[in-house]
Amino acid sequence: MSQHYAGHLATLKQRSDAALARSGFDHLVIASGVEKYHFLDDRPYPFKPNPHFKHWLPLLQHPHGWIVHTPGRPPLLVYHQPDDYWHVPPSAPEGFWVEHFDIRIIREPAEALAHLPKTRAAVLGEADAALDGVVPNNPQALLDELHHQRGFKTAYELDRMRRAQRRAVKGHRVAEAAFRNGASELEIHRAYLEATGHGEFDLPYGNIIGLGAHAAVLHYQHQSPARPGRPLSLLIDAGAEVDGYAADITRSYAAHEGDFAELIAALDDEQLALCDLVRPGKDYRDLHLEGHLRLGSVLRNAGLVDMDPGSMVSEGVTSVFFPHGLGHLIGLQVHDVAGRHDALGREIPRPQGHPYLRLTRTLEPGMVVTIEPGLYFIPTLLAKLQAGPHAKAVDWDRIEALLPYGGIRIEDDVVCTEDAPENLTREAFAEV
């Protein structure tokens, strides 16, 4: 791990040196962030570090910290370790990363000023991290370049992401078992937390755990404590995190054999085929449209829509059943940055009629993307289809029978390599 991290740090220095030179700055200064408090209260929100900070260091619970990178010098870490008896302060710096930093311990946030450059510095952070004379300026050109480069993962980052996958998969296995035993959404959520070893606020995003019709809500935000009288289906979109790197996995299950279980199996086949298309030079927009075309085949083969799949795509019929994008970049953030921009910050447009696609770049080795096609029965979208010109092509009786099952989403995290893709999620399921 120390060797992987050394290579990772060398890559970050090289990228930062180039970005600083092009944008006219001498120093890169990164604030970890500060604790934020509830309005009119003294209770803090859970702390989440600046993604740029945790890109350099696996420090996730360290407010008031700073990193300074000056080309040609070892990176400087200003490490806030308060003398605090109300809370447990950070322990002394330790781990595989320590030897690579010039570490300065401070007891009060303002003491950082003595260690930070005041001129010709690109300062990355939120406005509330400012100190007297050091104010985040977040130069856009520099951010655009660093964000674009973040799409290409180092060996260290891929190792962290593989570990996050294995952690998440343990939770998914337990969640499926709980569903099949008749558990409620809240009970499934708690079982997931226990299996992954996460606390409620450690997750990279809030778990989406939808039973039955709730699976049709794309970002379903509740966890009902009520057990289902008759379990039908489960959609669980839940991740895990290791040293700041996220896993993002979705699985769908049917409680019994029948039409819905057959749809899950059919979509799973198409999802695997799409994962295999994560290859260098592939425009992700084309992959997204390929996902719609394949969904059209699933709908036709299942007898739900009697139309040519290509016509379903061009007429927007597949978007009724699959209204979101095929996937996104993933890494330090679940929806990682620069999915729709080039290194100069110029937008790469989405395909017409597909406003929610989060990734429009051409795939290159080192990118990690999600592949997450869906097939949902969303009443508000179906009502518009039923009122439109293609209503006669739909078997509405079968749609009505499937409404209580909500929908399906199957999501894997996939690495684009020089050759065949590496499916991090399927490999983790095979291991666990």
Q: Provide the pLDDT for residue 232.
A: 98
> How many CA atoms, within 13 angstroms, populate the side-chain half-sphere of residue 21?
8
Q: Provide the pLDDT for residue 373.
A: 98
Helix (H, G, I), strand (E, B) or coil at 128: helix
Nearest-Å Rg of the Cα atoms of the chain is: 24
| Residue 363 to residues 45, 160, 281, 416, Cα–Cα distance (Å) | 37, 21, 6, 7
Contacts made by residues 199-202, CB under 8 angstroms, sequence distance 24+: 201/46, 202/241
> Domains in the chain and their CATH numbers?
2-149 (3.40.350.10), 155-431 (3.90.230.10)
Nearest alpha carbon to residue 108 among 75, 79, 129, 135 = 79
Please write the tens of the pLDDT for every residue from 99-132.
999 999 999 999 999 999 999 999 999 999 999 9
Q: Provide the pLDDT for residue 204.
A: 97
Amino acid at 109: P
DSSP 91: P
Reported confidence tier of residue 389, pLDDT bands at 50, 70, 90: very high
Asked whether residue 1 carries a pLDDT value surpassing 90, the answer given is: no
Strands (E), 181-287: 208-211, 233-242, 245-254
Residue 397, judged by CB atoms within 10 A of its CB (0-12, 13-18, 19+), counts as: exposed
Average pLDDT over residues 356-383: 98
Asked whether residue 358 carries a pLDDT value surpassing 90, the answer given is: yes
| Residue 428 to residues 67, 279, 406, 409, 423, Cα–Cα distance (Å) | 34, 20, 27, 18, 9
Q: Provide the pLDDT for residue 253.
A: 98
Q: Provide the pLDDT for residue 285.
A: 98
Helix (H, G, I), strand (E, B) or coil at 186: helix
Asked whether residue 2 carries a pLDDT value surpassing 90, the answer given is: no
CB 144 within 8 A of CB 341: yes
Token representation of residue 39 = 């309005």
Reported confidence tier of residue 401, pLDDT bands at 50, 70, 90: very high
Reported confidence tier of residue 6, pLDDT bands at 50, 70, 90: very high
Q: Provide the pLDDT for residue 25.
A: 98
Query: Which phi-psi region, left, alpha or beta, contains residue 120 (left: φ > 0; alpha: ψ -120 to 50)?
Result: left
Provide φ and ψ at 413, rounded to 5°.
-105, 125
Angstrom distance (rounded) from CA 399 to CA 171: 31
Amino acid at 393: A
Q: Provide the pLDDT for residue 432.
A: 85
Please write the tens of the pLDDT for every residue from 161-188.
999 999 999 999 999 999 999 999 999 9
Residues pairing with 407 in the sheet: 376
Q: What's the angle, vertex CA 84, arms to CA 81 and CA 90, rounded to 5?
A: 35
Least confident of 27-31, 89-93, 389-393, 420-424: 89-93
Asked whether residue 255 carries a pLDDT value surpassing 90, the answer given is: yes
Token representation of residue 323 = 């209204």
**pTM over 0.75, yes/no:** yes
Q: What is the mean pLDDT of the chain?
A: 97
Sort strands 368-371 and 66-69 into parallel, antiparallel or unpaired: unpaired
Q: Provide the pLDDT for residue 230.
A: 92
Identify the helix (H) or strand (E) that includes residue 76. strand 76-80
Asked whether residue 267 carries a pLDDT value surpassing 90, the answer given is: yes
Asked whether residue 73 carries a pLDDT value surpassing 90, the answer given is: yes
Q: Which residues, 6+ apart, have CB-to-CB distance to 411 below 8 Å?
A: 237, 248, 249, 250, 251, 327, 370, 371, 372, 425
Strands (E), 316-420: 368-371, 374-376, 407-409, 412-415
Asked whether residue 347 carries a pLDDT value surpassing 90, the answer given is: yes
